[in-house]
Amino acid sequence: MEVFFDTYFDFSFMSEHFDEVLAGFWVTIKLSLVGGFFSLLWGLILSVLRQLPGRLLAPVRWLTIAYIDALRGIPLLLVILGLSAGLATLASEGTIPREIGIPQWFGESDPFWYGVIALTLTYGAYMAEVYRAGIEAVPRGQMEASRSLGMSHGQAMRFVIVPQAVRKVIPPLLNDFIALMKDTALISVLGLVETVQTGSDLYSEFFNPSGYTLGAFMFLIVTIPLARLVDWQIKKQDEKFQRGIP
Amino acid sequence: MSSEVILRVEGLKKSYGKLDVLKDINCAIAEGEVVCVIGPSGSGKSTMLRCLNMLELPDGGRIELHGNEIYGGGKTHDLDVLRREVGMVFQSFNLFPHMSAKENVSIAQVRVRGRKRSEADARSVELLGKVGLAEKVDEYPDRLSGGQQQRVAIARALAMDPEVMLFDEVTSALDPELVKGVLDVMRELADSGMTMVVVTHEMNFAREVADRVIFMDQGFIVEEGNPDDVLGNPSADRTKQFLGLVLSR
């Protein structure tokens, strides 16, 4: 047991290298926030495309469904590797501009942006399903009542359906965000020095895995409160619809 | 009847897959008329009502509002005009749960009729007072009883100043002691001259309030006429059988 603690909980090592791990964790945070933001947006676009009405737009719906199914069924790691390799190859051949193939926007490295794009492509697909479930969970009568008052489909969505759906999707979207944040670790395969890569670098140099432990703690400081927030949100919603039975 | 026809339905058909719910419906609703539609469940009466508001798309026939074709030849026209002029109240109320009673009544006035918020709110408060809910204007639907919610729903439809009001079994989901309050509001509305089409199982209401009763069965109008004839002395066997079952309770 003592060996275990000495190996993983070397506190003097942790305090010595705290700044390095924190710098890595800051990259994780940035990656999560930027990737999370674009995933939310892309997911919303996908869910709207998937629900476009009419026969004429059926191909758009099918393509969107195919995309969502595909990206939900492929490992994120494969998307990260395939995307970075593909874009870098195309850029070096000159098929696409270098600024797009090897993106280094706003002072961030190209692995960072490959990570953001891969997270967006994959988590956008997950989040599109969450939005859809939220909209479908609003009873049919709400749309009928809105339309019977003369509102257009768009007005009914904007003033009646979406405001109710938003409350229902916040907990599952937060859950997806927690998963996304943990999955940013996969981008370390591209050499991005985020939390996991920092721990790995420290281990290679000093043969001490406590850097991993410190990184894990930093994750938990963010993810546990987020998970509690999800539970609290769900409980708050349930209380509105349940009575009695404590 | 001499007054102007507001809604005219000719040869209306509707089916779900192989099930023909409406086979050949013909009727006309005149201004100021109160028409009660009765019949066994599955007879198509709710579907007919929902077709009048295009919440269900018919599969054939014609619907006219003030002589203008709203549905015909498989196509719809001016749906928004139709829905603005035709108010609907549902069995399950369908109030917007994230809005107070007043906001429920105001939202379409502002967004569809283009009224100012203050003007719409004033009208909402007035209408909620009329349906006996003056003290509940700021309550949310989950704090209201079923009967109160249904009266808010009636006020919400009235706020659009419709020419016709459709009622789809509006008391069927209510506890018995709450039914009267809703029926009283509808009775007052009928007395004020509102044109109404009421799908209902309340035979006494039909007898006392209706100008005309329509009996439907298996997608057809079997019999129609003034309430005393249809309810008191029906001519069709199917009507007699139905009324025998309903009135003997």
In which band, very low, low, confident or very high, does the pLDDT at A203 lie, cut at 50, 70 and 90?
confident
Q: Residues A156-201: pLDDT tens digits?
A: 988 998 888 888 888 899 899 999 999 998 988 888 788 888 888 8
Q: Name the more confident of A223 and A12.
A: A223
Show Cβ contacts of residue B212 under 8 Å, excluding neighbours closer than 6 positions. Answer: B33, B34, B35, B36, B224, B225, B226, B227
In which band, very low, low, confident or very high, does the pLDDT at A243 lie, cut at 50, 70 and 90?
very low
Show Cβ contacts of residue B60 under 8 Å, excluding neighbours closer than 6 positions. Answer: B11, B12, B13, B74
| Of A56-65, A156-165, A236-245, B26-35, the least confident | A236-245
The two tokens of residue A19 are 């700044």
For residue B191, count CB atoms less than 10 angstroms from its CB and return exposed for 0-12, middle for 13-18, buried for 19 or more: exposed
**Torsion angle in degrees (nearest 10) through CA of B90, B97, A170, A34:** 90
Surface of A (132-191) touching B: CB under 8 A: 139, 141-142, 144-152, 155, 159-160, 163-164, 167
Whether residue A102 has pLDDT greater than 60: yes
For chain B, what percent of residues have pLDDT higher than 70?
A: 98
Mean pLDDT of B206-218: 92
Show Cβ contacts of residue B117 under 8 Å, excluding neighbours closer than 6 positions. Answer: B106, B110
| Of A84-98, B128-142, B197-211, the least confident | A84-98
Q: How far is it between the farthest Cα atoms of chain A?
A: 73
Q: How many C-beta atoms lie closer than 10 Å to residue A112's C-beta?
A: 25
Q: Among all residues of chain A, which has the CA nearest to that of B79?
A: A150
**Contact flag A240-B107 (C-beta cutoff 8 Å):** no
Q: In Å, how far from its chain's centre is CA A167?
A: 19
Q: Which is nearest to B157 in space by CA: B169, B149, B165, B146?
A: B165
Supply the pLDDT for residue A240.
59
Supply the pLDDT for residue A8.
81
In which band, very low, low, confident or very high, does the pLDDT at A142 lie, cut at 50, 70 and 90?
very high
Q: Name the more confident of B195 and B78.
A: B195
Q: Residues A117-130: pLDDT tens digits?
A: 999 999 999 999 99
Pairs of CB atoms within 8 A across A/B: 57
**Contact flag A148-B83 (C-beta cutoff 8 Å):** yes
The highest-confidence range among A14-28, A196-210, B118-132, by mean pLDDT, is B118-132
On whether any CB of chain A is under 8 Å from the CB of B107, the answer is yes
Supply the pLDDT for residue A246.
47
Which of A149, A153, A236 is the best substitution to test chain B (most B C-beta atoms within 10 A)? A149
Q: Among all residues of chain A, which has the CA nearest to that of B113?
A: A150
Name beta bridge partners: B75: B72
DSSP string, A132-168: HHHHHTS-HHHHHHHHHTT--HHHHIIIIIHHHHHHH
Question: 0.90 exceeded by the pTM?
Answer: no
Mean pLDDT of B174-201: 91
Q: If you average pLDDT over every residue of chain A, what do you get?
A: 85
Whether residue A88 has pLDDT greater than 50: yes
The highest-confidence range among A35-44, A203-212, B80-89, by mean pLDDT, is A35-44
Please say whether the beta carbons of B28 and B211 come within 8 A. no
- Tell me how far apart the alpha carbons of residues A168 and A162 are, in angstroms, rounded to a whole number: 10
Q: Among all residues of chain B, which has the CA nearest to that of A152?
A: B80
Supply the pLDDT for residue A89.
82
Whether residue B154 has pLDDT greater than 60: yes
Angle of the A195-206 helix axis to the A18-50 helix axis, nearest 10:
150
β-sheet with B19-30: strand ranges across: B19-30, B5-16, B60-65, B68-72, B75-76
- Residue in B80, B96, B160 nearest the CB of A160: B96
Q: Among all residues of chain A, which has the CA nearest to that of B52?
A: A148
